[in-house]
């Protein structure tokens, strides 16, 4: 059985000067996830490892390097979903957690809930030994200076050698958002979705992605027989047709087919498959 992984570093316009480091960050994250798959690891562990790598990279709007809300604070959203079992975990508007995707995974493992928000999510992290940090540590100087120019939500989707799919997404949200604002990322079927047909991670304006339940829409197209790359393109075209929102998505299907599409100027992507395919896009 083949395996593959695809990661994205967020829809938006990327300044030429930062393009090489962003694509290198995506590549490093894809390689981290790929190494998990190569060791016969699960798609779930692979997408988590890839997203943690991107959360720890200050260039991206997730974990360290997250964008600031109207009060100058970081509030994170993240989700992870196992396509084989439909189990999922998610956090919304949580502060002071170094790797929100790890907290999402803990919530998934603990059950019975899927999505915890704000103080409740932070309390759960404390009780379950998820690494906490001073919220100020997630703010990097570049974000303080000017965030609105470039985005950088991160996500990963993978198929493992056991034929299981998984997806994960993590973000600081949108610049200048109101405290408590929750985007598409932690909402299953909106920013993140995985089932037995496809794993999908989205990026772009969350309010518009939610309106069309973009991730589930793309997975449904695959379920109906669409090939991975046309499902990705068709889903983005649908989103563009229904909303004016900027959006992008990555997708893996159960045969290891890889798809990605965007209506934004840029979206760094790195995909790796065990047949030696490597795709890099900015």
Residues 67-86, one symbol each (x = binds ligand ASP by CB under 6 A, - = not), give ----------x---------
Residue 174 as a binder of ligand ASP (CB under 6 A): the answer is: yes
Least CB distance to ligand ASP at residue 163 (A): 29
Task: Determine which one of 32, 153, 185, 243 is catalytic.
Answer: 153
Residue 185 as a binder of ligand ASP (CB under 6 A): the answer is: yes
Largest CA distance in the chain: 49
Residue 171 as a binder of ligand ASP (CB under 6 A): the answer is: yes
Least CB distance to ligand ASP at residue 32 (A): 21
Residue 10 as a binder of ligand ASP (CB under 6 A): the answer is: yes
Residue 57 as a binder of ligand ASP (CB under 6 A): the answer is: no
Q: Are 54 and 10 in contact (CB under 8 A)?
A: no
Q: Contacting ligand ASP (CB under 6 A), which of 64, 153, 201, 264? A: 153
- The Cβ of residue 208 has, within 10 Å, a number of other Cβ atoms equal to 18
Strand order in the sheet with 258-262: 192-194, 198-204, 247-253, 258-262
Q: Contacting ligand ASP (CB under 6 A), which of 63, 83, 189, 191? A: 191
Q: Are 61 and 171 in contact (CB under 8 A)?
A: yes
Residue 25 as a binder of ligand ASP (CB under 6 A): the answer is: no
Q: Which residues contact 242 (CB under 8 A, 6 or more apart)?
A: 211, 212
DSSP calls for 180-248: T---STTSBTTTEEE-SSEEEEEEE-HHHHHHTTHHHHHHHHHHTT--HHHHHHHHHHHHHHH----EE
- 139 exposure class (CB count in 10 Å sphere: 0-12, 13-18, 19+): buried
Residues 84-123, one symbol each (x = binds ligand ASP by CB under 6 A, - = not), give ----------------------------------------
User: Looking at 23-31, 84-92, 200-208, 272-280, which segment touches ligand ASP (CB under 6 A)?
Assistant: 200-208
153 catalytic residue (yes or no)? yes
- 130 exposure class (CB count in 10 Å sphere: 0-12, 13-18, 19+): buried
Residue indicated by tokens 């299953």: 188
Examine residue 112 and say whether the peptide bond preceding it is cis (omega within 30 degrees of 0): yes
User: Looking at 41-49, 141-149, 159-167, 198-206, which segment touches ligand ASP (CB under 6 A)?
Assistant: 198-206
Q: How many binding residues for ligand ASP (CB under 6 A)?
A: 16
User: Looking at 30-38, 95-103, 169-177, 264-272, which segment touches ligand ASP (CB under 6 A)?
Assistant: 169-177
User: Looking at 45-53, 135-143, 179-187, 221-229, which segment touches ligand ASP (CB under 6 A)?
Assistant: 179-187
Q: Contacting ligand ASP (CB under 6 A), which of 98, 151, 216, 233? A: 151
End-to-end Cα separation, the chain, in angstroms: 29
Residues lying near ligand ASP in the complex (CB under 6 A) are found at: 10-11, 77, 151, 153, 171, 173-174, 183-185, 191, 203-206
């Amino acid at each position: 059985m083949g395996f593959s992984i695809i990661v994205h570093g967020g829809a938006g316009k990327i300044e030429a000067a930062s393009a090489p480091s962003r694509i290198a960050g995506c590549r490093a994250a894809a390689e981290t996830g790929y190494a998990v798959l190569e060791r016969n690891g699960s798609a779930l562990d692979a997408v988590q490892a890839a997203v943690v790598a991107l959360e720890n990279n200050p260039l991206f709007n997730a974990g360290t390097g997250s964008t600031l809300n109207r009060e100058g604070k970081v509030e994170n959203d993240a989700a992870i979903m196992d396509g084989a079992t439909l189990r999922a975990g998610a956090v919304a508007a949580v502060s002071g957690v170094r790797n929100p995707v790890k907290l999402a995974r803990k919530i998934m493992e603990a059950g019975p809930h899927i999505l915890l928000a704000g103080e409740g999510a932070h309390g759960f992290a404390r009780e379950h030994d998820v690494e906490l940090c001073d919220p100020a540590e997630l703010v990097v100087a570049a974000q303080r200076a000017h965030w609105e120019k470039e985005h950088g939500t991160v996500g990963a989707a993978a198929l493992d050698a056991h034929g299981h799919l998984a997806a994960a997404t993590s973000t600081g949200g949108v610049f200048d958002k109101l405290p408590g604002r929750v985007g598409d990322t932690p909402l299953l079927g909106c920013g993140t979705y995985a089932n037995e047909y496809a794993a999908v991670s989205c990026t772009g304006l969350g309010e518009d992605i939610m309106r069309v339940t973009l991730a589930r829409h793309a997975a449904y197209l695959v379920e109906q027989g669409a090939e991975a790359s046309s499902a990705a393109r068709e889903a983005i075209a649908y989103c563009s047709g229904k909303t004016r929102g900027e959006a992008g998505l990555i997708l893996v299907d159960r045969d290891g087919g890889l798809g990605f599409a965007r209506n934004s100027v840029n979206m760094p992507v790195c995909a790796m498959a065990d047949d030696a395919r490597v795709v890099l896009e900015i």
